[in-house]
Amino acid sequence: MKKRTLMMFAGIVMAFALTACTSIETSKNFNGLGMTTARSKPVAHINARISGVFLFDAFPLFCGSVNNIDKVAAFVNTVSMDNALGLLTRHARGLGATKLVNLNSYYQTHWLWYTILLWERKSQVSATAIK
């Protein structure tokens, strides 16, 4: 009984460890505040994030897809600042923006100690899209 419970727990931990995604968060709520650049109209604040799981911090297992939001790419390393910025700028252009301000980026990699062999990487870029 204990062995079965332990195996189920290990399976659940691995299921959570082997997840990856790409997402875009958009907010158009500026609360009446203007922007710092002259004659600019804020379109949206955009946050693009790509994450992935790597074996020994070298071999990609599952990463967020760059071309399809909320999809997973297997065995392809898509976790990079270039891909996250490209994702953000494509989405901003789709919303009708012509420029970005307040660009901020974040990149992190860390060991998933409970899996022993796996690492997680995250790349995130956020900016305010303006016209």
55 to 9, 33, 35, 39, 109: CA distances (angstroms): 21, 45, 43, 49, 12
Using CA atoms, how far apart are residues 61 and 55, in angstroms rounded to an integer? Answer: 7
User: Which amino acid, one-letter code, is at 23?
Assistant: S
CB 18 within 8 A of CB 55: no
pLDDT tens digit sequence for 109-120: 999 989 889 999
* Average of per-residue pLDDT values in the chain: 81
Instruction: Specify the pLDDT at position 89.
Output: 86
pLDDT tens digit sequence for 76-123: 999 988 888 888 888 888 888 888 888 898 889 999 989 889 999 999
Instruction: Specify the pLDDT at position 33.
Output: 44
36 to 40, 41, 42, 100, 101: CA distances (angstroms): 8, 10, 10, 12, 9
Instruction: Specify the pLDDT at position 19.
Output: 65
Q: What is the dihedral of CA 73, 77, 81, 84, to 10 degrees?
A: -10
